[in-house]
Amino acid sequence: MSQEVVTPRIRGFIATNAHPDGCAANVRQQIEVAESDLPGAGLDNVLVVGSSTGYGLASAISACFGYHAKTLGVCFERPSTEDRGASAGWYNLAEAHRAAAEQGRTLETINGDAFSADVKAQTLDALRSRFGKVDVLIYSLAAPRREDPDGEVWNSVLKPIGAPHTSKTVDLRNATVEEQTFDPADDDEIEATRRVMGGDDWADWVEALQDADLLADGFRTVAYSYIGPAVTRQLYRSGTIGRAKEHLEATGNDLSAGLAERHDGGAWVSVNKAVVTQASAAIPGVPLYLGILTKTLTARGLDESPIEQIVRLFADHIGPGTSPQVDAAGRIRLDDREMLPEVQDLVSDVWDEVTTESLEALADFSGYQRAFRQLFGFEVDGVDYDAATETHRELA
Ligand code: NAD
C-alpha cells in the first residue's frame, strides 16, 4: 500500500508525476463517449500501437468499449512501484483495464519498446494464443527515439529544413510570448527523424502480422498524421517532422495496394486535428496555436477532443460497413473543422496580434494549461486532491 496526497510536479512541458484518480476520471469520461456513440459490436480483434495516451488511448477505448473488440495495446510507460508513482499513461491503462474487467471485455497491454523485435514477438504470441486475426491496426506512436535491432539509435528533432526560422512561441513556465529562432536540420537529422516518425516501423508491424498469418479478411490499418496551419508550417509540416509524416503517408499508399489484393483491406493515414497531448506540447509554437485554435473552434461549437475525433474516425471511415472518405492525396481528414478557411483566417490574425499581455484574452491560454495538467490527472472535476490515494496501481 502506498497512500499519498499527490501534488503536481510539472515544469514547462515536462511532468514527472501524475494523479491516479484524475487519470481514471479522464478515462471513464472517454469510455462514456465511446459507449454512447459507437455500436457495441462489429470488430473482433484490434491492435493499437501507442495505446496509453492521446490519440492511441482514444483508439483503444473506442475499440474495446465502443465495439467490444478484444483489444491489445502496446505502449512505453513507467509502472508504479511501492515507492514511486506511475506515469499518466500507466494510470490511464490501469483504469481502462479495470473497467474492461468489470464489464467482461478483453483489454491487454504489452509495455515495452514498440520498435524492438522482442515487443513485436510478444505481441504476435499474445495475438496467436489469446486473440486471433486482427481486424484493425492503429499505429499511434509519438516517440523521440528509435533503437534498431542492430543497436543503432536514431533521435528525432524538431527543426526547419533549408533555412533558419523565427517563430512566435509561448514559454509554458511563465506564459510569456516570445520569438525563438530555430536552426535548420542537417541531412543526418532529417534522416534520423524519418527513421523514428516515418513509416518504416508501421510497415514492419504490418509485415510481421502478415508473416504470422494474423491479418483478418478486410484488415484495415490507420496511422495518424498532422498537417496544421500556415503559422507552424516552417517548423512542422515543412520541417523534419513533416518530412517524416510525408514518408508515413507514402508508406500507407505502398501498404494499401498489397493489403487490398491479398486481404481485401487497406492502409490509410488519418490527418487528425491538433489536440493537447504530451507529444504536441513539446512542439514549439503548437501550445500557442492550440490556445488560439481551441478558443476559435469552441466559439463555433466545432471543437473536438481526441475521443470525439476517434469515434468519428471509426463511425465514418474505418468501422464495419464504412468506406474511408479521402482527400486527393488519399488521406482521411479529421482536421476538416480545424482547417476551415474562416477558422484559419481568424487564427492567423490573432497569431499576428497576440502578445504576453493579450495572451489570456485572445488565446485562452489558461484553458490550454488546464488541459495540459489534466493529461496528468490534475485539475480534473470531481477528484478530491486533498485526499491520500493509492499510487501503486496494477493493470488488471
Ligand atoms: P502521445 O504522446 O499522447 O502518445 C504517444 C504514445 O506512444 C503513448 O502511448 C506512448 O506510450 C507511446 N510510445 C512512445 N514511444 C514508444 C515506444 N518506443 N514504444 C511503444 N510505445 C511508445 O501522442 P499523440 O499526440 O497522441 O500522438 C500520436 C500520433 O498522433 C502521432 O503520430 C502524432 O503525430 C499524431 N497526431 C497528433 C496530433 C496532436 O495534436 N497531438 C495531431 C494529429 C496527429
Element (H, E) at 225: strand 215-225
Q: Which atom of ligand 1 is nearest to the CA of 145?
A: 18
Helix (H, G, I), strand (E, B) or coil at 146: strand
Q: What is the mean pLDDT of each run of 10 residues along the chain (396 residues)?
A: 91 92 98 98 98 98 98 98 95 98 98 97 98 98 94 96 95 91 98 98 98 98 96 94 98 96 96 95 92 96 98 98 96 98 96 94 91 97 97 94
Q: Under a CB-based contact definition with an 8 Å cutoff, are residues 281 and 328 in contact?
A: no
**Best of 77, 224, 297 to mutate for ligand 1, by most ligand atoms within 8 A of CB?**
224
Other beta carbons within 10 Å of 164: 11
CA of 219 to the centre of ligand 1 (A): 22
Name residues whose C-beta falls within 8 Å of residue 286's C-beta, 6 or more positions apart in sequence: 228, 232, 236, 274, 280
Residue 172: the pLDDT is 86
Q: Under a CB-based contact definition with an 8 Å cutoff, are residues 367 and 288 in contact?
A: no
Cα 271 versus chain centre, distance: 12
* Cα 214 to Cα 203: distance, rounded to the nearest angstrom: 14
Q: Under a CB-based contact definition with an 8 Å cutoff, are residues 370 and 57 in contact?
A: no
Residue 1: the pLDDT is 64
CA of 388 to the centre of ligand 1 (A): 31
Is residue 52 lining ligand 1, measured as CB closer than 6 Å?
A: yes
Is residue 277 lining ligand 1, measured as CB closer than 6 Å?
A: yes
Q: 91, 139, 236, 289: which is the annotated catalytic residue?
A: 236
Helix (H, G, I), strand (E, B) or coil at 155: strand
Which contacts (CB < 8 Å, 24+ apart) does range 343-348 have?
343/293, 343/296, 343/297, 343/300, 343/302, 344/229, 344/230, 346/296, 347/229, 347/231, 347/289, 347/292, 347/293, 347/296, 348/229, 348/230, 348/231
CA of 52 to the centre of ligand 1 (A): 9
pTM (predicted TM-score): 0.98
Nearest CA to 75 out of 120, 47, 108, 110 is that of: 110
Residue 232: the pLDDT is 93
User: 226 catalytic, yes or no?
Assistant: no
Residue 81: the pLDDT is 93
Residue 364: the pLDDT is 87
CA of 390 to the centre of ligand 1 (A): 27
In the structure grid, which three cell numbers stand for residue 177, read together? Answer: 510570448
* Cα 364 to Cα 374: distance, rounded to the nearest angstrom: 16
Q: Under a CB-based contact definition with an 8 Å cutoff, are residues 338 and 149 in contact?
A: no
Is residue 226 lining ligand 1, measured as CB closer than 6 Å?
A: yes
Residue 13: the pLDDT is 83
Query: Which is it for the CA torsion 205, 50, 225, 117, positive or negative?
Result: negative
Cα 151 versus chain centre, distance: 26
Element (H, E) at 270: strand 266-271
**Best of 76, 111, 222 to mutate for ligand 1, by most ligand atoms within 8 A of CB?**
76
* Cα 282 to Cα 284: distance, rounded to the nearest angstrom: 6
Q: Under a CB-based contact definition with an 8 Å cutoff, are residues 8 and 88 in contact?
A: no
Is residue 280 lining ligand 1, measured as CB closer than 6 Å?
A: yes
CA of 353 to the centre of ligand 1 (A): 31
Residue 176: the pLDDT is 93
DSSP at 162: S
**Best of 49, 51, 75 to mutate for ligand 1, by most ligand atoms within 8 A of CB?**
75
Residue 2: the pLDDT is 84
CA of 90 to the centre of ligand 1 (A): 14
Is residue 55 lining ligand 1, measured as CB closer than 6 Å?
A: yes
DSSP 12-69: TTEE----HHHHHHHHHHHHHHHHHHS-S-S-SEEEEES-SSHHHHHHHHIIIIIS--
81 backbone dihedrals φ, ψ, rounded to 5° = -130, -175
